[in-house]
């Protein structure tokens, strides 16, 4: 279901996912995304498209103690 200004919103959603949408505009889009499936579907689609870029990053082993820190953070509920 396309809406008026669909192309413009597509670009806003893309820049939101890319990260170049910043400040109040970013927060505004975040709220729209949570409230309205129209924006949510757009943002999801861009996350899917860009998610593929992560596949070309070489894996990086986290510090061995990161799991322990994470586990402790869950225990303290912080």
Partner 1 sequence: MTVHETLEDMIAAVADGDRAAFRRLYEATARRLLPVSIGILGRRDVAEEALQDAYLNVWRNAAGFDPGKGRALTWMIAIVRNRALTLRQRIAREGNPAPEDSLDRLADGAPGPLDEALRSGAARALAGCMAGLDEAQRRAILMAFYRGLSHAELARALDVPLGTVKSWIRRGLARLKDCLDHETAE
The residues that touch partner 1, with contacts defined as CB under 8 A, are 7, 10-11, 14-15, 17-20, 22, 44, 47-63, 66-67, 69-70, 73-74
Q: What is the nearest approach in angstroms of partner 1 to the Cβ of residue 10? A: 6
Residue 9, number of CB atoms within 10 A of its CB = 18
Structure tokens at 21: 């949408």
Nearer to partner 1 (CB atom), residue 4 or residue 76: 76
CA–chain centroid gap for 14, Å, is: 10
Q: What is the nearest approach in angstroms of partner 1 to the Cβ of residue 73? A: 6
Residue 63, number of CB atoms within 10 A of its CB = 8
């Amino acid at each position: 279901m396309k809406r008026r200004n669909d192309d413009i919103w597509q670009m806003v959603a893309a820049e939101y996912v890319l990260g170049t949408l910043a400040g109040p505009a970013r927060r505004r889009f975040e709220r729209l995304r949570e409230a309205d499936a129209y924006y949510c579907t757009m943002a999801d689609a861009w996350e899917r498209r860009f998610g593929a870029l992560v596949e070309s990053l070489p894996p990086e082993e986290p510090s061995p103690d990161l799991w322990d820190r994470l586990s402790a953070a869950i225990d303290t509920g912080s």
